[in-house]
Amino acid sequence: MFNYCLKNGGIMKLLIGPHQAFIMTEPDECLIVANACMNKPYLYEFGKDCYGRGLVTAKESTWKPHRKLLNPAFNLQVLNKFIAEFNVQARELVSLLEPKVGKESFDVQPYLVSNSLKNVCRTTLGFREQDQIMVDKDYAQATENLFHLFGERIPKFWLHVPFLYNLSSLKRKENKLTGVTKRVINGIIKKRRSEMKLNSNYEMNSDSKSDKFKPLLDQMLELAENQDAFSDEEIREHLDTIVAAAFDTTATSMTYTLLVIGSDSVMQERIYKELKSELGDRDVTKHDLPKLVYLDAVLKESLRLYAPVPLAARNVDSDIQIRNYTLPAGSTCVFSLYGINRHSMWGADVEEFRPERWLNPETLPKNPNAFATFGIGKRVCLGRSYSMMAMKTTLAHILRRYRVFGDINKVLSRSDILMKPVTGHHIRLELRM
């Protein structure tokens, strides 16, 4: 559908029963609508019981003040303090992968999911090793199943009617899964608040000059205590949103990236030489990340062609004129992030995996909105820099230790809420001497 729209004028109308939806692939037109209409369409309300006031699903009236409060938690000074933890988890991942060296191909995604989940739990929730078991199994599985459930509901338009959905077996499944996620996160919030009250000098509550990071949960609890900024339910919804949005998308992106790298030995050797030149055998630091320019280019090109989130959408609040079309109030506008990333402004080789395009500004589109993997407009992903830092650090450790083999051309993907590989995505590892 997105490819058809891309090749036939960049805008098309889709009828979902009586409801009008407009698919768009022109970056500037998407930006106009994205910034004029800040509320998400009713489809996002499918996740309201779990993620209601989180940044992805919140209404504009909630999103604006909460985004402003959360922005400082994702500035570069804060994120740089997470790199030490990214290194710790990357080293553990490399060790866990070692038994696979020299063996037959295997599915690397579960290893990457575990790594990404640990990263986000340590930095967002402030977990220590003994806490991790709380989310490693039940929470992660429940979150993935919720995404499958939302994806199953979308094409069954009769289940868009709340009354009918509330009578369905899908709703019963959702209630069960949401109960799991709420129980886990509410338990974490309660435990964390008790620890902070018991010890006002709690080790994670470090000042801004310390090298220790302050988890997002601590910052939100302090805002709740000192400024009455969040209720416990709002904190839970934000944490659920951030954890769910971070670990699965990051793991999926790294899976595609490793497959691409494993398909091109020349590209892989160039990355390896850069890593050895800039890092040697030591951990990654905040000063190293900007120097890993080729790894950065490969990762961005992978994110362009294999964006884990293929679309975003807005509710059209008032009539908007786009060219000779009117998007009527009450309709839905779907931004094809997949389509924007494949727009003709990327050049005749738009479908080719060519990281070199990122090394020369002259070969990139002049339009800054042409790269839309992290969204478009004011509601762009808050965790973009966090995700890039975590992925680059993790990939640096893997590719410095192992030679990867895979075949991106054999990969078949599916999309529920996220785009994920379902077959042909196994890789093989060899130890670098």
Query: Does 170 map to a domain?
Result: yes
Q: Is 103 helix (H, G, I), strand (E, B) or coil?
A: coil
Query: Does 160 map to a domain?
Result: yes
> What local confidence, expressed as pLDDT, does residue 144 receive?
85
* 432 within 8 A of 401, measured Cβ to Cβ: yes
Q: Is 186 helix (H, G, I), strand (E, B) or coil?
A: helix
The dihedrals phi and psi of 239, each to the nearest 5 degrees, come to -65, -45
Q: From CA 335, how far away is CA 184, in angstroms rounded?
A: 33
> What local confidence, expressed as pLDDT, does residue 149 receive?
92
Enter the pTM of the model.
Answer: 0.92
Rounded percentage of the chain residues whose pLDDT exceeds 90: 66
Return the closest-CA partner of residue 55 out of 334, 388, 308, 379: 379
Residue 130 has pLDDT above 70, yes or no: no
Residue 204 has pLDDT above 50, yes or no: no
Query: Does 338 map to a domain?
Result: no
> What local confidence, expressed as pLDDT, does residue 305 receive?
97
Q: Is 381 annotated as a binding residue?
A: yes
Residue 77 has pLDDT above 60, yes or no: yes
In this prediction, residues 71-75 reach a mean pLDDT of 89
Contacts of 411 (CB under 8 A, 6+ apart): 256, 259, 421, 423, 424, 425
Q: From CA 234, how far away is CA 236, in angstroms rounded?
A: 5
> What local confidence, expressed as pLDDT, does residue 121 receive?
87
Q: From CA 425, how far away is CA 62, in angstroms rounded?
A: 40
Q: Residue 99's domain spans which residues?
A: 37-201+213-309+373-431
Query: Does 83 map to a domain?
Result: yes
Query: Does 293 map to a domain?
Result: yes
Q: From CA 264, how far away is CA 271, in angstroms rounded?
A: 11
Query: Does 336 map to a domain?
Result: no
Confidence band (pLDDT; 50, 70, 90) for 211?
Answer: low
* Helix (H) or strand (E) segment spanning residue 315: strand 311-315
Residue 26 has pLDDT above 50, yes or no: yes
> What local confidence, expressed as pLDDT, does residue 49 receive?
87
> What local confidence, expressed as pLDDT, does residue 207 receive?
45
> What local confidence, expressed as pLDDT, does residue 201 receive?
52
The model's pLDDT over 155-164, given as tens digits with 9 standing for 90+, comes to 898 999 999 9
Residue 200 has pLDDT above 70, yes or no: no
Residue 15 has pLDDT above 70, yes or no: yes
* Total domains in the fold of the chain: 1
Query: Does 66 map to a domain?
Result: yes
- Give the CATH number for residue 251: 1.10.630.10
Query: Does 348 map to a domain?
Result: no
The model's pLDDT over 386-421, given as tens digits with 9 standing for 90+, comes to 999 999 999 999 999 999 999 999 999 988 778 999
Confidence band (pLDDT; 50, 70, 90) for 203?
Answer: very low
Look-up of token digits 């909630």: 62
